[in-house]
Amino acid sequence: MTYRIALVKGDGIGPEIVSSAVKVLEAVGGRYGHDFQFTEYLAGGCAIDACGVPLPPETVAGCQQSDSVLLGAVGGPKWDTMPGHLRPEKALLGLRAALELYTNLRPARIFPALKGACALRPDIIDRGFDLMIVRELTGGIYFGERGRREGKYGEEAFDTEAYSVHEIERIARVAFESARKRRKNVVSIDKANVLESSRLWRETVHRVAKEYPDVTVSDMLVDNAAMQLIRDPSRFDVVVTSNMFGDILSDEASQITGSIGLLASASLGATKCGLYEPIHGSAPDIAGQNKANPIATVLSAAMMLRYSFDLSAEADAIEAAVTAVIDEGWRTADIATDATAEVLGCAEMTEKIIDKLLLAK
Ligand code: IPM
Ligand code: MG
């Protein structure tokens, strides 16, 4: 089979980590007899520099015509002072909207060998955790009405959180469907004690829940959820939440896995064409120095194989190779400890993963 993959490397460490994932995909393709064809498109700060806009129309069209998109990261200090509509982050939001990727799956689990890199107490980590954050991705405050206006005390700015029943229903269904394939438990996170949009969210989630009597559902306020995630992450299976709460909680969840450099994500919509990216940013401070951890992007490529191409054996093989490399003690700087004898760069970590892939039965 031939699969056309659009590569959006972006800024900062984006090019390094996407190149790593491409090498891993090529190794998988060679091994399992798939032809992955890659086409690069510009988005983010590099697109602003080259074309004056963060998301050129050719990038949107190219991604729409591909079978899937692999994205590195966008943004950096160079473009931080650009006006809102010309910021690199607009590229990401624009792509998510253009491809109608309303679901963002962000799995977080502990690699047993990385317990030492985790910030939580050993007795908490020993319970283990494996959770799936289902984040709504094309609605809420990220896409609501915003602007500046004259207020009582002079200039003010506003952003609006708005959710329709339709948007909540479809993301709730994704959460219940994923729970069915896991431990059949959904925690819906909102701020229903204050926000009307959260009250509609809660009502709607519970109505959809009736279609899934085999799945247990409960609600949690977002402030409490932020606390429970570090108090006892083992209690969570599937978490479903709004765009902004999901953004915040997924960074928190990443840190309890040991490093944000480990967390992959899949953005999905109604078609098989998804967008796969690490949840971390462009890390401009370490860009171009071969210091980035490629694992989150490599695992995002695995998610692409699983969710967009239905290649689960191949996805399993990548995940097993990553786990094996970590089990053997190989570490990039972000997950290294005092006991790490040799800290690997991005390229060397990639080679280790590929070696394992090619060796595995
Ligand atoms: C993420 C990022 C983005 C988001 C930014 C870069 C716009 O933080 O994917 O989590 O907030 O969605
Ligand atoms: Mg984020």
pLDDT in tens, 108-136: 999 888 888 888 999 999 999 999 999 99
Please indicate whether residue 251, judged by its CB atom, sits closer than 6 Å to ligand 1: no
| Strand, coil or helix: 345 | coil
**Which numbered atom of ligand 1 lies nearest the CA of 104?**
9
Is 123 annotated in the active site?
Answer: no
With bands split at pLDDT 50, 70 and 90, how would you rate the model's confidence at 339?
confident
Question: pLDDT per residue over 315-330, tens digit each?
Answer: 999 999 999 999 999 9
How far is the centre of ligand 2, averaged over its atoms, from the C-alpha of 147 (Å)? 22
**What confidence score (pLDDT) does residue 173 get?**
98
Question: pLDDT per residue over 69-110, tens digit each?
Answer: 999 999 999 999 999 889 999 999 999 999 999 999 999 999
**What confidence score (pLDDT) does residue 260 get?**
86
pLDDT mean over 207-219: 98
**What confidence score (pLDDT) does residue 361 get?**
66
Is 223 annotated in the active site?
Answer: yes
Q: By C-alpha distance, which of 329, 277, 284 is closest to 113?
A: 329
Please indicate whether residue 266, judged by its CB atom, sits closer than 6 Å to ligand 1: no
If you take atom 7 of ligand 1, which residue's CA is the nearest one?
Answer: 89
From 74, 92, 241, 245, the mutation candidate for ligand 1 (largest count of ligand atoms within 8 A of CB) is 92
Residues 6+ apart with CB under 8 A from 289: none
Please indicate whether residue 92, judged by its CB atom, sits closer than 6 Å to ligand 1: yes
Looking at every residue in the chain, the average pLDDT score rounds to 96
Furthest C-alpha separation in the chain: 69
Question: pLDDT per residue over 153-183, tens digit each?
Answer: 999 999 999 999 999 999 999 999 999 999 9
pLDDT mean over 245-268: 92
**What confidence score (pLDDT) does residue 56 get?**
98
Contact 132, 178 (CB under 8 A): yes
If you take atom 12 of ligand 1, which residue's CA is the nearest one?
Answer: 247
CA distance 269 to 272: 7
pLDDT mean over 338-353: 94
What the block records as the tokens of 114 is 């990385």
Is 191 annotated in the active site?
Answer: yes
Residues 119-157, buried b or exposed e (16+ Cβ, 10 A)? ebeeebbeeebebbbbbbbbbbbbbeeeeeeeeeeeeee
